[in-house]
Amino acid sequence: MNKAMDKIEAYLRRCRELNAFCRENGWIDNDTLRWEVIERSGECLEISVTFDEVTTQGGGCVARHIERFGRMRLRLDSAGEVIAGQSR
């Protein structure tokens, strides 16, 4: 992976925008996070994202892993750092 891709990966692992795709008040399993660039336009990228949402039962035990997916628009600076992200 090149440096720009590493920076995008790091951003996705910590951003809150991916939570918009969680539907059952769970959390994102970063080990299942996958993404790909769909479109590039200047400083903006359109990406598709998939991951598992992990949910728990009343006792705190993991109940389910639910596959989630969506699209995001990312704006990058000249160094390839993500400066803004928006779920779509």
What pLDDT shows up at residue 51? 97
The beta strands (E) that lie in 1-88 are given as 27-41, 44-56, 62-76, 82-87
What pLDDT shows up at residue 61? 74
* Low-confidence winner among 2-11, 34-43, 57-66, 76-85 (lowest mean pLDDT): 57-66
Domain count, the chain: 1
* 87 Cβ contact partners less than 8 Å away, ≥ 6 residues apart: 17, 18, 20, 21, 70, 71, 72
Domain span including residue 9: 3-87
CA distances from 11 to 24, 34, 82 (A): 23, 13, 7
| Residue 40: alpha-carbon gap to chain centroid | 17
pLDDT tens-place string over residues 4-55: 889 999 999 999 999 999 998 889 999 999 999 999 998 999 999 999 999 9
